[in-house]
Structure 1
């Protein structure tokens, strides 16, 4: 018959350690959630831009300004014109948004997230 002392549950320190891990995980989720919500706004803005008519006839500056206006409407603050890359060929137009966000996590520890989204619009 096994000794009853060996089959006891988790002790106070074990529960304290588990609660600390859950608190860190929760803090990480709370810090990262707004960044991903903003990323989905960037994604939606790019998809809306792809549906814009006469996009191939516009200059790079016009496309960039339209996208920046869409991002401003969606309250995206972390994307600037330097993060937008536009490439035109005869058959396609590629618009890419590549940016990195650093958010404080705990003390002097930061969370860094890198987002990269691109769309290709075929010529009509």
Structure 2
């Protein structure tokens, strides 16, 4: 009876379940990280494109940046371009689907606007 009170730690089943959860979380992070990095690249390109003065110029600047940085998630046609207080504001929104397993997907929604 006293040996049982002194024992501490995880059971083998608990260890296996914990390992499965850690592996699953790692797989999700590994698949989601590239989409977030692409979002940061899109954000940088949108900030650069906001230096344009006309809609055509803004789209052209974004297309050049998208070609250089290989942005595939969004095109210049998907940008919302407007003026606020005399400055050009470019905003965007898009979704990325990440297949987890079977019929399960993780949907990442990204949106932002120029500074």
TM-score bucket (shorter structure): 0.7 to 0.9
Q: Which consecutive unaligned segments of at least 5 residues does structure 2 have?
A: none
Deviation >4 Å, runs of 4+: none
Asked whether 1:21 is paired with 2:21, we answer yes
- Structure 1 regions of 5+ residues with no counterpart? none
Residue by residue over 1:15-34, the C-alpha shift from the partner in whole angstroms, topping out at 9 and shown as x without a partner, is 00000000000000111011
User: RMSD of the TM alignment (CA)?
Assistant: 1.9
Paired residues in the alignment total 114
Written as runs of structure 1 = structure 2, the 5 A alignment for 1:1-124 is 3-6=2-5, 7-50=7-50, 52=51, 55-56=52-53, 58=54, 60-89=55-84, 91-120=86-115
How far does the alpha carbon of each residue in 1:16-54 deviate from its partner, in whole angstroms, 9 at most, with x for none?
00000000000001110110110111111122224x3xx
Q: TM-score, normalised by structure 2?
A: 0.86
Give the TM-score normalised by structure 1.
Answer: 0.81
